[in-house]
Structure 1
Amino acid sequence: MTTVLSLKDARLSLDGNAGRIEILRGITLDVQKGETLGLVGPSGSGKSSLLMLMGGLEAATGGQIQALGQNLSDMNEDALAHFRRDHMGVVFQSFHLIPTMTALENVATPLELAGHKDAFDRAMTELVNVGLEDRANHFPSQLSGGEQQRVALARAVAPRPDILLADEPTGNLDQTNGSHIMDLLFELRDRHGATLVLVTHSNELAARCDRVVRLRDGQIDTTLAEAVA
């Protein structure tokens, strides 16, 4: 199998009012091509921080992080931005849509930045895939929370990323919308063949993953090593 994400003794420390805080304490983990990996654990265990390291959105303070064979620690901000644009899609708990742009424009923007001449055609295709073709010309303020998250999903998968990262994608939604987003997330992953890593508190969502890794106090909970291997 092909390893698309590889972390070796990855560490993250931040300076706070009370001194140095160890957020991640030596994470070693490989994620294979096409795998769906769920990151679970109590609040404050480091799940979202680990996802941010995987996406180059946070710089590790120790260890090594490789994505698609590239060492993220060797890249500057511009190089990281270009790498994410070309290879990664990210979905946050907060939708992060541009309020002055329509749903179609929100989805098309990363495609335009990547130089795709058919950006709007591809964006509309993804809106159709998430069932929002009738809402393409609506602004985020005119959409429900579930609809906004569907736009965010469409935007993340439109560039056909190799790696899809999702941080609590159902966290701000009610149960009905959350279930719909879960279905869409796996459907889009299957359609585009991306490797999916997601952070979740949802046992239902975690159960749909190929593998689950539980974090506790910034480390992989080794007491569950056999269960998640």
Structure 2
Amino acid sequence: MDVARGETLGLIGPSGSGKSSLLMLMGGLELATGGHISALGQDLTAMDEDALARFRRNHMGVVFQSFHLIPTMTALENVATPLELAGRRDAFDVALAELEAVGLGHRAGHFPAQLSGGEQQRVALARALAPRPEILLADEPTGNLDEANGAAVMDLLFDLRDRSGATLIMVTHAPELASRCDRVIRLRDGRLADPTAASEAAE
């Protein structure tokens, strides 16, 4: 399967079909037992855990269904953390600007438990996009949100992606979200349902 730079790709299929596993393999969050995974010209399957962590820090943003915010940190600190790990001296200035971009500048000092589900997911989006990743992975980013909040988060995700030019790969069960992607790949029983279509990507 090939994914072109700047493409928006939707991964769909029934529960247990392997969508999230494929996404985690793409991000080096799970290790492949065979084959090769290349991203931005680098072989992820040849990297150890430290090298994979550095690669994600420098090139990828990940948005999870369950937010995965650090509960003891404020929204501002959560967004600033990956920037600090990358050695950015302006980490908190950039983090605040990202929170403002998702409409949460006024909630920067709040902890995750003080935020609604929609607000927590927007913080997670700001955290993923703050380092300006070339690849953005999203695993059911609206799965824990009600319909209104889910629609707002998805509008925001696509808007931020358009502004950053990142490659977006998204797992979703929602047909209306998949329809917004440039291309959709269906998985069934751990395999691509249409391998021929999946391999077609513009250079």
TM-score by length of 2: 0.96
Partner of 1:203: 175
SS at match of 1:213: strand
The structural deviation recorded for 1:225 is 3.5
SS at match of 1:31: coil
2-structure distance, mates of 1:183, 1:49: 25
2-structure distance, mates of 1:150, 1:222: 33
The residue identity in structure 2 corresponding to 1:63 is G
The answer as to 2:68 corresponding to 1:102 is: no
1-structure distance, mates of 2:166, 2:121: 19
The structural deviation recorded for 1:100 is 0.6
**Unmatched runs of 5 consecutive residues or more in structure 2:** none
SS at match of 1:63: coil
1-structure distance, mates of 2:154, 2:194: 28
Higher strand share: 1
Q: Which runs of 4+ in 1 moved over 3 A?
A: 223-226
RMSD: 1.4
The structural deviation recorded for 1:224 is 8.6
The structural deviation recorded for 1:158 is 0.1
The structural deviation recorded for 1:123 is 0.3
- Say which of 147, 150, 159 aligns to 1:187: 159
**Unmatched runs of 5 consecutive residues or more in structure 1:** 1-28
The answer as to 2:29 corresponding to 1:50 is: no
SS at match of 1:153: helix
SS at match of 1:201: coil
The count of aligned residue pairs is 200
The answer as to 2:84 corresponding to 1:112 is: yes
2-structure distance, mates of 1:32, 1:123: 29
- 1:130-149, aligned counterparts within 5 Å? 130-149=102-121
Find the structure with the greater CA-based Rg: 1
- 1:34-183, aligned counterparts within 5 Å? 34-183=6-155
SS at match of 1:109: helix
The structural deviation recorded for 1:164 is 0.1
Partner of 2:2: 30
The residue identity in structure 2 corresponding to 1:143 is L
2-structure distance, mates of 1:141, 1:108: 18
The residue identity in structure 2 corresponding to 1:190 is D
Partner of 1:218: 190
Q: Deviations over 1:171-191 (max 9, x none)?
A: 000000000011011011011
Maintained 8 Å contact 1:214/1:224: no
TM-score by length of 1: 0.85
1-structure distance, mates of 2:191, 2:121: 30
1-structure distance, mates of 2:157, 2:177: 10
The structural deviation recorded for 1:197 is 0.1
Larger RCO: 1 or 2 (CA < 8 Å, sep 6+): 2
2-structure distance, mates of 1:195, 1:222: 21
